[in-house]
């Protein structure tokens, strides 16, 4: 990779981090914040035997993505979808994916 490409890649990564920070600051109604917290607790409760459920949820969310095959990486990949859900509609989509995959969501 040349110097210019490296600079462009670094600038793109910085811009994405800034976009993520701004989106994190976007207000959500309390019910949606609670929903995202429940999804995070659901991920935390998963064990290594739940890898297939994690993979299925990821595939429901984006059929073009190849789920990670290592348990910790797969959990992080799924958590990224929860973090990225910044609108009520997207939070509902992620919740449906968990339910479709058979991942229990705590109340």
Domain boundaries, the chain: 27-101
3-state SS record for 2-25: CHHHHHHHHHHHHHHHHHHHHHHC
What pTM, to 2 d.p., does this model score? Answer: 0.75
CA–CA distance, 59 with 65 (Å, rounded to integer): 7
Find where tokens 């701004």 sit: 22
Which tens digit of pLDDT belongs to each residue from 64-102? 999 999 999 999 999 999 999 999 999 999 999 999 999
Which tens digit of pLDDT belongs to each residue from 4-21? 566 666 656 666 665 555
Would you call 80 helix, strand, or coil by DSSP?
helix
CA–CA distance, 59 with 22 (Å, rounded to integer): 27
């Amino acid at each position: 990779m040349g110097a210019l490409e490296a600079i462009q890649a670094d600038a793109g990564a910085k811009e994405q981090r800034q976009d993520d920070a701004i989106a994190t600051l976007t207000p959500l109604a309390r019910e949606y914040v609670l929903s995202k917290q429940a999804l995070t607790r659901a991920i935390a409760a998963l064990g290594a035997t739940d890898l297939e459920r994690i993979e299925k949820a990821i595939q429901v969310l984006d059929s073009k993505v190849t789920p990670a095959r290592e348990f910790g990486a797969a959990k992080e990949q799924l958590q990224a979808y929860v973090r990225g859900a910044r609108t009520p509609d997207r939070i509902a989509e992620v919740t449906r994916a968990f339910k479709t995959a058979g991942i229990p969501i705590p109340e």
